Copies of this chain bind each other. A is one copy, B any other.
């Protein structure tokens, strides 16, 4: 992955930059010792690493504003960071940057059950948002796989989803307001505990903007009353086509399961060897979960089972108890770990129209053969968000490049059938140079004009999201 040359003039001034930041902020906020900054040299896309100039770990919005204002004055690039769980390299540092981590802004600032919201520091982990309200019968809906570790700041940056987003939507559908600090240190309150506020909807623009526009320090999140219960069914099919048709029919029938998860044969095999969940030996496996009162669950499952049977399943397993439900989920929840046992892996995030599932799965199988690399598919089928996992060996010379080339082909395929490059992981550096397949030069241009409006110096999260060639002129003009 090509990165722009770090600015030698900034690196040369490291001592002065660190001193100015250290002087302006409470003790322990600025880290510059190489041994300590090492923990920040990559995120979950660990194939790419780069030690930053320094790391700032502020505790308040005002301290975040101070870091940004000083870096803006000194023209030092800033890479915002939540919990560092990005799969797309969204918080990969550059050698001339200050990493601005918001993990210490993690408090619950307000809960309001009557108006169904919670306000938290953006560094709070996803799962601990639910943790703060579940005793009162509420939960926060978006549930990325990394929810134990990932921060709300990163969820907002990438507009994260999760297995349950079919019913509840992704982050943007559950975000009511943010405090955003722009690169010049100005603090903006955007949105709030109400509907659409008039004027331009900057809240939705910021959601998914991958740290290009500002740093989110606080978030007001919609919380929902916990449903009475949930129950999954497991359905096995002899082909991906039939499983895809079953998914389409469930959606068309107007039932709204909270989750429809899909695993293909390579993934089922890996998972079964790893977890012993007792999954059937078949080409495609669906886990469909519904929620509600016992009567609602029964009614929805009756419709789903009826559709599933019409497609002639090789297996159809209901769950009569908590234990059986947990067993159905066991394999799915360990799928990424299981695939990881087979080698290094790269997890893609292309999203396609649901009706294209069978074609895309068949074509991925063909591409897998052509490139000689195994691909397992496990994904949120209800909304067409695929997660093909390419297995490779990072120690075999050339295999990383081959894997990236196959990944690029699969993502181009997603775009060709009317889908897109990324559903919930973001562009980061990983898909940056593929953006030209998704967007015309005019489309990229208008996006970059918006970036200009927020960050005219192009100092925030450099070399991410926009193809380097497309942004070159704007970056040069900004210097």
Contacts and interface: CB of A to CB of B under 8 A. Distances in A.
Contacts of A444: 199
B439 A199 contact: yes
A87 to B, nearest CB: 13
A140 to B, nearest CB: 14
Interface of A: 112-116, 137, 159, 161, 169-170, 172-173, 182, 186-190, 192-202, 204-205, 207-209, 212-213, 224-227, 248, 251-254, 293, 295-296, 299, 351-355, 383-385, 418-424, 426-427, 431, 435, 438-440, 442-444, 446-447, 449-454, 465-466
A441 to B, nearest CB: 10
Contact of A194 (B169, B253, B419): B419
A426 to B, nearest CB: 7
Contact of A205 (B115, B204, B253, B296): B204
A119 to B, nearest CB: 11
A451 B200 contact: yes
Q: Give this chain's copy count.
A: 2
25 contacts: A114-B248, A114-B251, A114-B354, A115-B353, A137-B254, A159-B201, A170-B195, A172-B201, A186-B446, A195-B351, A195-B385, A195-B420, A196-B420, A197-B420, A198-B420, A198-B421, A198-B431, A198-B435, A200-B205, A200-B447, A201-B205, A201-B208, A202-B450, A293-B299, A452-B453
B254 A227 contact: yes
A196 B225 contact: no
B299 A194 contact: no
Contact of A446 (B182, B201, B253): B182
Nearest to A204: B204
Contacts of A352: 194
Contacts of A204: 172, 201, 204-205, 207
Contacts of A422: 196-198
Contact of A253 (B190, B225, B454): B225
A161 B195 CA distance: 10
A191 to B, nearest CB: 9
Given A225-B253, A252-B113, A422-B198, A453 B449 contact: yes
